[in-house]
Each structure stands twice: as structure tokens, then as C-alpha cells.
Amino acid sequence: MSDRTEAVKAYLLDLQERICAALEAEDAGATFAEDAWSRPGGGGGRTRVIENGALIEKGGVNFSHVFGASLPPSASAHRPELAGRGFEALGVSLVIHPENPYVPTSHANVRFFSAEKEGEEPVWWFGGGFDLTPYYAFEEDCVHWHQVARDACAPFGAEVYAKFKAWCDSYFHLKHRGEPRGIGGLFFDDLNQWDFDTSFAFIRAIGDAYLAAYLPIVQRRKSMAFGEREREFQAFRRGRYVEFNLVFDRGTLFGLQSGGRTESILMSLPPRVRWGYDWKPEPGTPEAQLTDYFLTDRDWLAQQP
């Protein structure tokens, strides 16, 4: 393992520890169960799952470090010149599904790839980001989420937040539904335009910003009263989440195509989901406001200094 890979791995393992500790403290009713696993093709990981807590209905914070003789198609689709190279991939990926429909689902991921070929320099890149999927949304939460994202990007260039916000809006989009998955955040891939140290510093800034973005929203909303109406709406909207992860998500596809551990890959799926034929919320209701106002192309920081 190269010094670069060692440094990235040490950071990712520490990030997993810190995020799990903070979420356990916020839940105060359940703890993460750890499941260490190995991959027959090379590598392994550390899956941590929390279920049926006082706050979190289901969540996972996973670390993986896998390698193999040939990049899977999902990893080389956008870079066909790398097809057939050996690869090493490290990452932390998390999804948190709270029980209370007023607390949004959150997702974050930071990852590092290296593609190698004998006689040539390794090609490396980073990817990741974080995004928010509310059910009953609040403007102050959306603004806060994007402010933290913008602040994390600011030291790396004035244009970085806008570029990676737009990429997030484009990526987390259900083409067959014509709607976004949530209110966005940041998304980037194939990041190697900076030198390694700068790129690694950026990844750390994004990974470290997740808790600062999410926990204040959780703390504002977790005590709000809800009933079966809100839970039913949450279940229908979670169906959209499942559709995206199984049809479009590159991380899910990479995991499945690379022979990863199915339980760890699919831990992102919520425990309670519904679909209904041609289902739509009633116009003018709080449920309709989600798609009518919040899930639209919006600059949440337009009025912010």
C-alpha cells in the first residue's frame, strides 16, 4: 500500500469513528453494530448499521477498501481509457433514515480511486459529496445545509461550490420522474485537477463538514410531533430514494459490479417504503409543497451574504 493510500485510509477510518459517535450521541437510544467483512476478490470493509433507535429508524456508515485486477464498467464508463486497469478503491459512505418525517434523510460519501497498469504511472482521483432528502422541508434547513457546503468549498476557489452544487443537482435527478431526489448539496467525481495534497485536503473538508451540516437540522426537527399521515407520505417519498439508488447510483452499481458485499451496498435502502399507482399528493397540502416549492431548481443562498 502506498503512503498516499495509507494516509487516505487512516483519515477515512477516523471519519467513520467520529460520525458514528456523533450520531449515536444524537440518537441516545441505539448504537451501531459493526460487521467486518472481507471480499474474495481482494480487500474488505467495516460496515456499521444502526436500527430502531429513538431517532434513526435505519442508518449505515460504511468503510470499504477493495482492489482487483480490472475496473468495473461503472468506474470506467466515463473514462474508457482506464478500462482493464487494476484498481484500488477506498471510501466511507453513509445514509441516515430518521423515523420522524420532519427530519430529512441524509447521504454522504468520500472516496479515493487508483487505477494502475504495469509500466505506467497510477491514475488517481477522488469523489464524493453530501446531499439532503427532506420530506417536510423548511427553508432555514435548506439554507443552512448549503451554507455549510459553500463554506467547506470556499478555501479551494470561489467557483467550487457553484460547480459542485450544479453537479449534485444534475446527478441526483430521477430522469424518469423529472424531479430531483432532494434539495441537493455537493457532488463531484474524477477529482484530480489539483495536486494530491490539495485534493486530499478538499476531501477532508467535505467529510468533516457533514456533521456540521446535518446535526443542527436534526436537533431542530427531531421533537416535532407526527402521525400516520406524515409516515405514509414519507414512505411514498422514500420510494423515490430507492428508485434512484437502484437505477442510477454509481456507487451502488460499482459495489455490485465489483463483487462487493450486498448487505453493505444495500444498507442505504430505507426499511419502510410504499408505491402507489399514479400516486400524487393533494394540491395545496403540506405534502404537495415539497415538490411544488422545495424540489425545484433553486439557489438557496441567493439572499445570503
Least Cα distance to 291 among 181, 201, 212 occurs for 181
What is the pLDDT at residue 236?
96
Q: Any known ligand binding at 261?
A: yes
Q: Any known ligand binding at 109?
A: yes
Set of cell numbers at residue 214 = 446535518
What is the pLDDT at residue 233?
97
What is the pLDDT at residue 259?
74
What is the pLDDT at residue 73?
65
Q: Any known ligand binding at 146?
A: yes
Amino acid at 289: Q
Residue numbers of the chain with a pLDDT score lower than 50:
none
Return the beta strands (E) in the chain as ranges. 33-38, 43-51, 56-68, 86-98, 105-116, 123-133, 173-174, 179-180, 184-191
3-294 CATH fold: oxygen-dependent coproporphyrinogen oxidase (3.40.1500)
What is the pLDDT at residue 82?
67
What is the pLDDT at residue 229?
97
What is the pLDDT at residue 154?
98
What is the pLDDT at residue 38?
87
pLDDT per position as a tens digit, 153-191: 999 999 999 999 999 999 999 999 999 999 999 999 999
Q: Any known ligand binding at 76?
A: no
Would you list the domain boundaries of the chain?
3-294
99 Cβ neighbours under 8 A, 6+ residues apart: 53, 55, 56, 57
What is the pLDDT at residue 74?
62
List residues with catalytic annotation: 107
